[in-house]
Each structure stands twice: as C-alpha cells, then as structure tokens.
Structure 1
Amino acid sequence: MTDITAESRSIGRNPVAPGAGRTVASAVPQSLVRRLARGITATGGAEPAVTRAPLTGEVLAELPQSTTEDVKVAFELARRAQQAWAALPVRRRAAVLLRFHDLLLKRQDEVLDLIQAETGKARLHAFTEVLATTMAARHYGRAAVGYLRDRRRGGAVPVLTKAVEARRPKGVIGQISPWNYPLELSVGDALPAFAAGNAVVNKPDTQTALTALWARELLIEAGLPADLWQIVVGEGPVVGPAVVEHADYVAFTGSTATGREVAQRAAGRLVGASLELGGKNAMLVLADADLEKAAEGAVRACFDSAGQLCIAVERLFVHRSVADAFLARFAERTRALRLGGGLAYGADMGSLVSARQLETVSRHVEEAVKAGATVLAGGQARPELGPLFYEPTILDGVTPEMAVCAEETFGPVVSVYRFDTEEEAVERANATSYGLNSSLWTKDTRRGRAIAARLRTGTVNVNEGYAAAYGSVASPMGGMGESGLGRRHGAEGILRYTEGQTIATQRLLPIAPSLGLSDEKFAAVFTTSLRALKALRIK
C-alpha cells in the first residue's frame, strides 16, 4: 500500500507504548499449544493448520484440522453426553457456571496472553472479554433456574384444564464463533446452552482456536463433562456446513454473507438458528452533548479492539453547531492513543488480526482520500511496530459513493458527518441495511431515550458507545435487518436453546359432548361459556 497524501503524513504519528519484555513465544510455549490441541476432535486425516501471531508474524501454533467425519464423531460423542447432563437438576448445571466464573477471574492472566497472542489486541481490550464472559457466567449461573422453571398457564377450560409450559433442551448445539472475541463469543455463548441442558459442538475460527480450547479445559475443571463440549477446527467452507448438518440448533456469529448461507442450510433441515452478523453502527452527538465525555466515549466506541468488533462505531454524526469543537477534542484524543503489542497493560490499541483486515482498512481509507475525504487523524499503516498495525483513523468529507460510507470496515476507521436537525440525524443513522448497535450523546437523557426509540438497532446506548447495553446481560442483545436474527443475553439468550413444551391435564370432564349432551347442546353451552369468559376479562 502507498502513502495516501502529504497532508495525512503531516498529521503526526500515534505514540508507541513501552514494551512489556515478554515475547509471544514465552507466553504461549509450544508445550501449552500441544496440550490444548489435544482438545480438538480430529483424527489427523487433514493437514495441520498453521496460525501466526498478528503482533509479530511469527508462527504461533500448528493445529490438527477436523474432517467432516470428525465433525460427525464429535456430534455422536456430544449427543451421548447430553442425555445424562439434561437429566441433572438445573441448579447442578448452573453451579458449573458459577465455579467457572471464579476460576476465570483467578486465572485470567493465562487467557489474556492467549487472546493477545491470537488476536493482536491490547491487553485492556482482551480483559473486556474476561469481563463479559464472567458477567454471562454469573447471570446464567444465578438466573437459569428462573428462566427454565415450569410455568402455569391458563388452561382450555378454567378449573377443568391444568396447563404447564416446560422448557426442554434442544439437544446438541452447533456453534460457529469468530476470531475477534475468541473467549466471549465461544464460551460466553455456550454457557447458557449448557445451563439449559444442551451439549455444544463448537467450530471456532482456526486463528483463535487456542483461546476456546483453554476455556474448554477450564470448564471441565469447573465440573463440565468432557464430552459435552466438542471443539472442531478447520476451514469454514468444509467444517462449517458439516456442523450445521448435524446440529439441533445453530448459533452463528460472523459476517452477513456467511450468515445467509448458515440460515439457508439450517432452514433446509428445519432447525432454528440465531445469527449475529455485521454492522455499520452510528453514533449521534447532539447539540447539547457534553463534548469532553462524548469525545472520550467516541474513542472507546470506535477504536476498542482496533475497531474489530461488530458493535463498534463506524459512522459519527455530529450536530453542525458543535462539530468543530467536538472534532478538535476527538482528533486530539485519537492522535494521542498509544499503539503497542506488549503482553501487558499499557497500550491503548493493538494490531489488526490478519493481512485481509489490513487490506480492507487500507483500501477503504486510500479510496476515500483519493475521492476527496480528509484525514483528521491516523490514516497510515505502522509496519515498524508489527506487520498488521494501522493507526486509529478519522475521515471527514466522506460521500455516499465511497466504500467506507456503507460497507463494514471492521477496523479502526470512523467517518464523520454533520447534521442540522435530529430528524435528519435519525434518518441518516437508519439509512443502512444493518441494525446492530447505535449510540447517542445528550445531557437530556429523557430526550435521549425518546430518540433512541426511533433508531432501528437491536441495542442503543445513551451517553456510552456500546458497553452499557452489551454489559446489561439480563437484557437481549442482537441485530435488526442484515445484522442478524435472534438474541444473546437475557431470557432469549437461554430460551433459544430450548423447546417449549405444553403439558395439559384434563380433569373431571372431557372437552367433548358428555353427560348426555347432544352435539348441538354442547355447542350452545360452549358458546355461552366463551361469552362469559370474555365478559369476565379472563385471558
């Protein structure tokens, strides 16, 4: 890639965080890699997959790849283990999640090293995965009993019919998880499935399989039967369809394009699926916003994990009256972010995860600048830091024909747009096929909630970028439009892994002509009864 403009080079480069002294090789020794790799369901029939550390480019692991036959075996093992697991009381299953919660907090440094080594993200951003995962473990560990308990429902005939709604596990969940949040989007999504009585066959992205394998070891230590969580590794077009082919339900997180294929395959088998897909998330800065707090929030919302998270902000709408003042604050903070790849706290942003991500980020920025956009901060790769580093970047003057305007960049790039009225801001924020997350900033929180109700996204954050809604684990999280189907977190996050079953017990009289009633008399009696039930406001 070439430098974009002399103007962008004159902006100044982001500072470099001090090194941590430890190398990827020392933090993730091959003895650990070999031990974790034994958790993969694979017979050795396929060539090993080689992964590299994004921070340095060095070889990180050689992992056995699963074949389609291995996937079949994984489901067979999981299905046998699931029957005994489902027979346990919910409290005993949930207790495993609570023990896992404590173990994860105690041993977090181990997995922080793995997450950094596999993704290249800064350690603080790796810690947010620990935070999110433990919150999910605590929530479902405490709330699963309530979510899954039998519920008395109104029967067909009051007094004579007793109806109970029960929840039964789906069976074996086929889970396909991405590389960007390898702990939270693998084990975090599996925890409610286990609490609900299911087994899981997980296909993590090969690049970040070590993190998922480590989490599996920790869950087994917490009391999960070993066969209940199977992990298969391999190329997505080969292993992914095999997982969908055998699953009783599919939980997928990834791109919208792949999500469509998963949905079609699941629909062909008449099994359910939840899909968390892409986003082109917007942040609105209203005229009355606290600009200091909004600028700080924008930095987090746009550049956490180098922008490689589906709920990150990529479009920034600012009221024209405060645009210059806000952008001065935002650009200053963005230019001050410290880049680094040390395996310790200290860097504000790490690297991208792959050459593919770097190419997309570089192309979006370069094409936009050539078409007239202005770089307010960043805009350059930083190969002297590592092969995949790219500066946090702010683009002004982006127009609709530029790819960065509508396509998901999934990197540390945000485009700025000015607006004059709230109606305009809402309309432009909603002018996308995606609908995952949005953010708005105002001192009038009542007004903020009213505007939030008009934004077509699954989560909306007032005076925060994304963490407030995502961290509210008792509430649902997911997307509208091309951002997906279904929800994680809250009641929906666990009930999606269950089948609703109604058990109705009829007493004394059947729902049919009896006691000498003719068909005509039976119809007349029920007609009178139905009118009475409505008059009495009985549901």
Structure 2
Amino acid sequence: MTDAQAPELTGTNPLAPTPEGARTAADVVTPELVAQLTKGVAGSGRTANHTPFTGEKLADLPESTPEDVAGAFERARAAQAVWAQVPVRQRAAVLLRFHDLVLERQAEVLDLIQLETGKARLHAHEEVQAVAVAARHYGRKAPAYLRPKRHTGAVPTLTKVTELRHPRGVVGQIAPWNYPLELSVGDALPAFVAGNAVVMKPDTETCLTALWARDLLIEAGLPAEVFQVVLGDGPVVGPEVVRHADYVSFTGSTRTGREVAQGAAARLVGVSLELGGKNAMLVLEDADIEKAAAGAVRACFSSAGQLCISIERLYVHASVADAFLERFAARTRAMRLGTSLSYGADMGSLVGERQLATVTAHVADAVERGAKLVAGGVARPDIGPYFYEPTILDGVVAPMTVCAEETFGPVVSVYRFTTEDEAVEHANSTPYGLNSSVWTKDARRGRDVAARLRTGTVNINEGYAPAYGSVQSPMGGMKDSGLGRRHGSEGILKYTEAQTVAHQRLLPMAPSLGMDDEKYAAFMSRSLRLMKSLRFR
C-alpha cells in the first residue's frame, strides 16, 4: 500500500479514534498497577519496557540477578512440595476459575497485550481465546490424563501393574514476546495442574501481560509461591533458569532453542521447544479463490506476521495464480493499520527496531535481486515507529534471503506450481516443519495432501487457527521447528514423570513349586506361546 492508497490519517492513527481507543498508555499502565503486578518479583537491578506504538517507556521494572533466580527456584521448590499434595481436582478447579476471570476481565489484558506488542486488538483477542480454551480443557481433562492407569502385567493375574504420574518439580519456562499471554501462562497451566511449580522468564518488553496473568491465577486460588517470575536480559537470566529447572519449556528462535537444549541435556533434564517456521500455504486448482484470498490475509498478517505458525510462503496452482493474487493483493492493500486500543484495525505494529530492520532488509534484498512488489514494501513511521505495510512479493527465487530464512513479519512470497507433487516437494523443502495450510474444495484430497506435508500441524481451508485451537490434539514442530508438543495429553504428560508399580502375587518370577531352572524355562516358554495365541498385548 503506497501513501496514496493509505487510509486518511486522523492524528497518528489511520482509524477514527473511539472513546475507548482514546486511552493512552499512561491511562492503562499506572504506577499502582505496576507495583501490584511486580509484587514478589525479585530484582536488585532496574530495567524498563516500552510500547511499540510510540516507542515510549511503559514501566520501570525489577531486574533479576542470578542470585535472584536461584532464590525464586528455592521458594518455588518449597511451595511445590505442598501444592503437589493438593488433589488434582482441586488444582483443576483453579484453572476453571481462571478461565472465568480471564473472560470477565479481558479488557484489562487486551490493553496490556496491545501496548506491549503493538498488535491489533482482534489479534490480541486470539490470545484470550487460546488461554481460555486451554484453561477449560485442562481444567476438565487433567484428572483423566493424570489418573493411575492399569496395565497388563508380565504374567496375567499374577502381576498387577499400575502407571502413576508424578510432577517433575519446578518447571523453568522461557516465554517469548510475540504472544505474551498465550505463550506464557497458556503453557504454564498444564504444568500447574500436574502439580508442578513454575519459574517463568517472560520477555521483559512484554512482561506486564504475563504478570497480569499471574495475578489473576493467584486470585483464582493458585498459591503465589508456586508461580515465580524473574525478569532480565535473556542471555543472562535464561541460562540460570535452565541451570536450576527440573524441566524446561522454551518458545523462541531455533538458534536459542539449540542452546537451551544443550543446557538441559548437560543436566539430563527434559525439555520442550517450539521454535521457528517458514510455513507454506498451498492453494490447489480447485480451491475457492475468494475464501483462499481472505484466508491468506489472516494466515500471513495476523499479529503483523510475528507468529511462529503464520504463513510466509504461498504456493498457488498456475491455473488460478493470477486470479488469486489479484484478490489477495486487493485485500492486502485495503488493510487498515492502527494504534487504537479498540477493535477495527486490521494490523498493528512490529514489536521493535530489530524486527523492523529484519523485515526491511528481507524485502530490500528480494527487490534488488529482481522480485516484484505486489503490495506493501513500505515502512509507515507516520503511524508509529515500527509500522510496516503488509507486503506481498512475487518472483522470489534463491538465493534471496526471504526465500529460505524466517522473516517473522508481514511479508509473504508467492510461488506458482503445476502439479500437486511439485507443490508438496517445495513446501517440504525447508529445515522447518511447524505449520502448513491446504486449500481445496475436495475434503479427501485436502486430507491426502496434508498427510504428505512434514509439519506438526496442517490446516485445511484455514491458515493456523483450527489446529492450534483444537486443544485435545498435539501441537508442535518437526525438524528444526522444535521438540515435544503442547496441548492434548502430550501437553500435560511432558510435565510429569511416569512411574510403573508392579505388584507380583502368589508366585515369584523365578523357579517355584519344585521346578528347577530347566523346567521353569520350559514353563515360561509355553506360557509365552499361550499368551500370544490368546492375543495378549
């Protein structure tokens, strides 16, 4: 969208401000709120965070030292021993109360998410939805996931086996800036209901949102000491979290994820990682082009593309490529950018200077090497310091940087294909494997194509929301996009240690009843053949 095509500006906002939208950062982030949210956060130093909308400081914050991190783990460990003894249904009830509080007081956190990330309000609401769904799911299903399970023993009727699930202890969580509610407390909820404590290091620039969620969980009944928060520079505080944790949960870049994994491996503690992506959307020749174009806007530009499961590569069948691109570009050029703390903007800001520099460099490199700008490609400092127009590139080829590297911004490249095999091959030709999307009117064909894509989630006729929102099913990445899964049984059982308790009754697992070794071996061989014929598992 060029300046001539941009909506008429009202002040620094292309949307007409509403009474709700007229609120300022100072109206929302008051000294009293900051004091309440940071209560209990240990830190002998001082740091600050800022809003991307204007670049101004939001709050002064405590900064944790390595000693502060060690102290947080010590307090969490003591509290966890008591919390683990609380019956699981009582722990689950905390999540259900939290669910209600989040929905009742969502206006508070929507303001914080917007101010800290710069995203549009509707995109901030995606986080509210995701956290509420996760709280409801684990609030209802945790007792079933965690209950003791009976298994067939080594010798049926003689061996009684029970599988128990114990909390790991204190989970160290390192959360990113881009989804400060969902990727902080959303990942912590199953850890809590499984009986763990959590020491979380949110990104300092978006920590008020995570601290708000902690405050609400305590109001819902979570013991305060069970949820510790430490703040500070990632390279300083992050390794300290890994050094003390009984299990590590990390969401962020693949580069940092490798370092976290190495730190956890050195201590022989478990780790789950959700990392980068270069996600592809396939528009087959029988797709509904209008719906696909509208879906592509959501898939590519939600949260200004700063979403690990958003689409950065569009593969469109050659027979419909021109028609699709015309509709997609028109919708993209019509998007409204804004800073208002109200609904109405289609896209918000990038989070900061580093993201703006990356986006700018990727687009400039592609254009210099011959790619065509179909839409966007322009920064918008008239709206805010880190705004960048949603951008579509055509004619992208290697070795353009945007072809293979994750941009993590509102930039998508369009490619044409002629056969389904070609589309699948190109979509899979990346070290990443987080999310993908397939558009077709043929449901069976969509499922068949989806099964060939090497990504942890695939969405048919939508970009990312259906798979992510289906919390009974696992969500995570293949290849360089991570280890482990969130959601479903895997999302809670990863925070537990499995214990097998086997009770041998009547006869020992050894020669008995007058049998010598040879007779015992023959008896066991006959028994094994019989168990197979009786279809024991």
Q: TM-score w.r.t. structure 1 length?
A: 0.97
Partners in 1 of 2:254 and 2:370 — Cα distance?
29
Q: How do residues 507-518 of structure 1 correspond to structure 2 at under 5 angstroms?
A: 507-518=505-516
Structure 2 match to 1:4:
none
- The residue type equivalent to 2:477 in the other structure is G
- The residue type equivalent to 1:199 in the other structure is A
Contact residue 79 and residue 171 of structure 1 kept, 8 A: yes
Deviations 1:265-309 (A, max 9, x none): 000000000000000000000000000100000000000000000
Q: Secondary structure, in 3 states, of the residue corresponding to 1:293?
A: helix
1:13 pairs with 2:6: yes
Q: Secondary structure, in 3 states, of the residue corresponding to 2:320?
A: helix
Q: Secondary structure, in 3 states, of the residue corresponding to 1:372?
A: coil
Partners in 1 of 2:398 and 2:476 — Cα distance?
26
Partners in 1 of 2:325 and 2:180 — Cα distance?
33
Structure 2 CA distance for partners of 1:397 and 1:423, relative to 1, 3 Å: same
Partners in 2 of 1:10 and 1:356 — Cα distance?
24
How far 1:89 sits from its partner (Å)?
1.0
Partners in 2 of 1:453 and 1:117 — Cα distance?
39
Q: Secondary structure, in 3 states, of the residue corresponding to 1:449?
A: helix
- The residue type equivalent to 2:5 in the other structure is G
Contact residue 64 and residue 233 of structure 1 kept, 8 A: yes
Partners in 2 of 1:370 and 1:12 — Cα distance?
23
Structure 2 match to 1:416:
414
Contact residue 41 and residue 230 of structure 1 kept, 8 A: no
Q: Secondary structure, in 3 states, of the residue corresponding to 2:198?
A: strand
- The residue type equivalent to 1:293 in the other structure is K
Structure 1 match to 2:383:
385
Partners in 2 of 1:10 and 1:246 — Cα distance?
52
Contact residue 13 and residue 378 of structure 1 kept, 8 A: no
Contact residue 104 and residue 130 of structure 1 kept, 8 A: yes
How far 1:22 sits from its partner (Å)?
1.3
How far 1:134 sits from its partner (Å)?
0.2
How far 1:11 sits from its partner (Å)?
7.6
1:41 pairs with 2:27: no
Q: Which has the higher mean CA deviation after the structures are superposed, 18-27 or 203-212? A: 18-27
How far 1:9 sits from its partner (Å)?
4.7
Contact residue 122 and residue 345 of structure 1 kept, 8 A: yes
Structure 2 match to 1:481:
479
Q: How do residues 305-384 of structure 1 correspond to structure 2 at under 5 angstroms?
A: 305-384=303-382
Partners in 2 of 1:25 and 1:412 — Cα distance?
28
- The residue type equivalent to 1:149 in the other structure is R
Partners in 2 of 1:85 and 1:52 — Cα distance?
35
1:277 pairs with 2:275: yes
- The residue type equivalent to 1:64 in the other structure is P
Partners in 1 of 2:239 and 2:57 — Cα distance?
28
Contact residue 18 and residue 346 of structure 1 kept, 8 A: no
Structure 2 match to 1:27:
28
Q: Secondary structure, in 3 states, of the residue corresponding to 1:330?
A: helix
Structure 2 match to 1:68:
66
Partners in 1 of 2:519 and 2:26 — Cα distance?
84
Structure 2 match to 1:3:
none
Q: Secondary structure, in 3 states, of the residue corresponding to 2:480?
A: helix
Structure 1 match to 2:265:
267
Structure 1 match to 2:214:
216
Deviations 1:390-409 (A, max 9, x none): 00000001111000010000
**Residue number among 151, 154, 172 corresponding to 1:153 in the alignment:** 151
Contact residue 28 and residue 117 of structure 1 kept, 8 A: no
**Residue number among 191, 194, 205 corresponding to 2:192 in the alignment:** 194
How far 1:533 sits from its partner (Å)?
1.0
Structure 2 match to 1:244:
242
Structure 1 match to 2:233:
235
Partners in 2 of 1:470 and 1:145 — Cα distance?
22
Partners in 2 of 1:11 and 1:436 — Cα distance?
37
How far 1:534 sits from its partner (Å)?
1.1
Deviations 1:18-43 (A, max 9, x none): 2321111112222212221224222x
Structure 2 CA distance for partners of 1:421 and 1:50, relative to 1, 3 Å: same
User: Sequence identity, in percent?
Assistant: 70
- The residue type equivalent to 2:276 in the other structure is G
Question: Gapped runs of 5+ residues in structure 2?
Answer: 9-13
How far 1:14 sits from its partner (Å)?
5.6
